[in-house]
Structure 1
Amino acid sequence: MAEYPFPDPIVEISDVRELAHDLVVVPNRDVDLVPNVGLIGGTEAVLVVETGLGPRNAQRILAFAADYAKGRRLYLTTTHFHPEHAFGAHEFSGEATYLVNQAQADDLAQKGAGYLAMFTRLGAPVARELDGTVLAVPDVVYDGSYDLDLGGRTVRLRPTGRAHSRGDQVVEVPDADVLFTGDLAETGQFAIFPWFPPHDTDVSGTRWLRVMETLAAEAPGIVVPGHGAVGDTRLLADVRDYIKELRDETWRRRDSAVSEETVVEEVRALMIERHPDWRMREWIERGVGCLCAEHAAVGGAGVE
């Protein structure tokens, strides 16, 4: 098993931040494999967004949510199926109604076991948190968007289509002008491209770019990313611009018949030069690999 060089991936119920009336975020504290967790309340119910990695993290979140709800009904949703976002959902069984879009439900059913095995090999702290994980079956699966009435507040669960994963969805709170993005957006780090050929190639840089163009144009006031500090619409623009420059620099080199190895080397150096303070540099190479494959698929369409 690999040595895990990061802090243990544990959700700490501390420094809880209120973004609006009856809407709080448990921040991830910039700890790898810990998501930002949201609780959104109405007069009748509370929606929890994300479960944390594995059963013990989910139990902490559930206990906090039950106390926060004070008798109100609980719902759970996840922005996509990846382990730190959704692999604690089983712990909510019988306590909350779990809602996801169809593509995310398919991801969980078809790829959940493989991701559980892959993440368990990341290191002992990750394996420890995933020990005892049971992959959940959602209670409600929907096509298109889903408007959830919490009592005096409606939250919209909106699938974006294939981007970071096949089943991405954003969570909109219109009355508070808040948007939860999951891993479509992160703060202060390079975009996570889960490009693992031949096992998983569902991430799409070109589709992800279109999604970010749409979300940035909608200009929500408060943006809760999958990981990192809460921001505003500029965070969406930053991710949009990064994916565009990653695509442009990759495709420009592939149009010139440069080898993929050279493309990776040159584009990685350029992205680090342009974003010297961003974390997770290891995802640049996987992003380039994804975009090289998409360039080949369109026959070398060039850069817009």
Structure 2
Amino acid sequence: MPEQVTHDPVVRTENVQELADDVVVIPNGNVQLVPNIGVIGGRDSVLVIDTGMGPGNAEKVLEFAARYARGRRLYLTTTHFHPEHAFGAQVFADEATFLVNRDQAEELNAKGPGYLDMFRGLGAGVARQLEGVELPRPDLVYDQTYDLDLGGRTVRLRATGRAHSRGDQVVEVPDADVLFTGDLAEAGQFAIFPWFPPHDTDVSGLRWLAVMERLAAESPRVVVPGHGDVGGPRLLADVRDYLRLLRDETWIRRDSAADERTIVEEVSALMIQRHPEWAGREWIEKGVGCLCTEHPA
């Protein structure tokens, strides 16, 4: 289980940040369990990326998106199925076309009820946001890539394969050189490993690292992480380098037959020394556990 949350994870739409012409982000304000939410416009349509947690947050996002669209058609996509990113999609049902990659749709169907129960146990504020959640069904499902024509602007949705989750996708705005990563990348935070054996073991440190190597090599101008401040290509390189170091230091100790508790303590101390300013230190242990299982025997 993630740690208990003592605040209400509320999306605030007052301080919208413009990234490029007709590309904005509703920033998460570095509030835990609030995602960065993207809104991308073309001549005819507007795409919303992620909903916030639960119907109340999604209603605020939809209200903002409708004002922003000024009559343009609405689309919705989610970077992955986790509750703060996707468990508000029901609000968009009659207002937008909801499209995601196939792996994400299947993961939502398989794991959604369990994650809903788990997150309701994280604290009263989270439980309040999740009141009335109905798990959504996408209107349109694609396999690997989908080019969405918004009118004069094409946005590319790209499934990455198993990494932070089984169904991650990134969203690219090629003409503006902007990339939305979801939780494949966070700013100012250790990578979130949802490693909850035996309930969920689909996160893969090795596949995640391979994805980050590809994304970092593409070096987009603007990177919108799942949580934290918007950045540039250095943000992707930081996550890549962290995952690489986490793998190497875990496996060195695994090779020497150290027990997992010793590996966690030593690797955690090293990572905190390297990044004392990063939040989410509890996720280091989850990453070590995941990578221990991926160690070549």
Task: Please say if 1:80 is aligned against 2:77.
Answer: no
Structure 2 Cα separation of the partners of residues 278 and 14 of structure 1:
26
| Structure 2 residue identity aligned to 1:59 | E
Task: Please say if 1:179 is aligned against 2:172.
Answer: no
Cα deviation digits, residues 96-150 of structure 1 (max 9, x gap):
0000000000010000000000000000000000000000000000111000000
Partner residue in 1 for 2:273: 273
RMSD between aligned residues: 1.0
Task: Give the SS at the match of 1:167.
Answer: coil
Structure 2 Cα separation of the partners of residues 40 and 131 of structure 1:
29
Structure 2 Cα separation of the partners of residues 111 and 288 of structure 1:
23
Partner residue in 2 for 1:61: 61
Partner residue in 2 for 1:110: 110
Structure 2 Cα separation of the partners of residues 261 and 124 of structure 1:
32
Give the conservation status (yes or no) of the 8 Å contact 2:157–2:172: yes
Partner residue in 2 for 1:17: 17
Q: Structure 1 length normalisation: TM-score?
A: 0.96
Task: Give the SS at the match of 1:141.
Answer: strand
Structure 2 Cα separation of the partners of residues 143 and 150 of structure 1:
20
Structure 2 Cα separation of the partners of residues 225 and 158 of structure 1:
15
Task: Please say if 1:211 is aligned against 2:211.
Answer: yes
The 1:14/1:106 distance shift into structure 2, 3 A limit, reads: same
Task: Please say if 1:248 is aligned against 2:281.
Answer: no
The 1:153/1:76 distance shift into structure 2, 3 A limit, reads: same
Structure 1 Cα separation of the partners of residues 192 and 3 of structure 2:
21
Partner residue in 1 for 2:148: 148
Cα deviation digits, residues 134-168 of structure 1 (max 9, x gap):
00000000111000000000000000000000000
Give the conservation status (yes or no) of the 8 Å contact 1:4–1:125: no
Structure 2 Cα separation of the partners of residues 64 and 180 of structure 1:
19
| Structure 2 residue identity aligned to 1:179 | L
Partner residue in 2 for 1:34: 34
Task: Give the SS at the match of 2:156.
Answer: strand
Q: Structure 2 length normalisation: TM-score?
A: 0.98
**How much does 1:3 deviate?**
9.2
Task: Please say if 1:190 is aligned against 2:190.
Answer: yes
**How much does 1:5 deviate?**
4.5
The 1:3/1:186 distance shift into structure 2, 3 A limit, reads: closer
Give the conservation status (yes or no) of the 8 Å contact 1:6–1:32: no
Structure 1 Cα separation of the partners of residues 149 and 3 of structure 2:
45
**How much does 1:6 deviate?**
4.1
Structure 2 Cα separation of the partners of residues 247 and 72 of structure 1:
46
Structure 2 Cα separation of the partners of residues 224 and 38 of structure 1:
8
Give the conservation status (yes or no) of the 8 Å contact 2:17–2:26: yes
Q: Matched residue pairs, number?
A: 296
Partner residue in 2 for 1:264: 264
Structure 2 Cα separation of the partners of residues 120 and 95 of structure 1:
27
Structure 2 Cα separation of the partners of residues 121 and 144 of structure 1:
34
Task: Give the SS at the match of 1:175.
Answer: coil
Structure 2 Cα separation of the partners of residues 195 and 4 of structure 1:
16
Give the conservation status (yes or no) of the 8 Å contact 2:6–2:123: no
Task: Please say if 1:283 is aligned against 2:283.
Answer: yes
Extract unaligned runs of 5+ from structure 1.
300-304
Give the conservation status (yes or no) of the 8 Å contact 2:87–2:135: yes
| Structure 1 residue identity aligned to 2:143 | D
| Structure 2 residue identity aligned to 1:82 | H
Partner residue in 2 for 1:7: 7
Task: Please say if 1:119 is aligned against 2:119.
Answer: yes
Task: Give the SS at the match of 2:294.
Answer: helix
| Structure 2 residue identity aligned to 1:61 | V
Extract unaligned runs of 5+ from structure 2.
none
Structure 1 Cα separation of the partners of residues 8 and 132 of structure 2:
17
Give the conservation status (yes or no) of the 8 Å contact 2:51–2:85: yes
Partner residue in 2 for 1:302: none
Structure 1 Cα separation of the partners of residues 241 and 104 of structure 2:
26
**How much does 1:8 deviate?**
1.4
| Structure 1 residue identity aligned to 2:126 | V
Structure 2 Cα separation of the partners of residues 212 and 3 of structure 1:
26
Partner residue in 1 for 2:128: 128
Give the conservation status (yes or no) of the 8 Å contact 1:4–1:124: no
**How much does 1:7 deviate?**
3.0
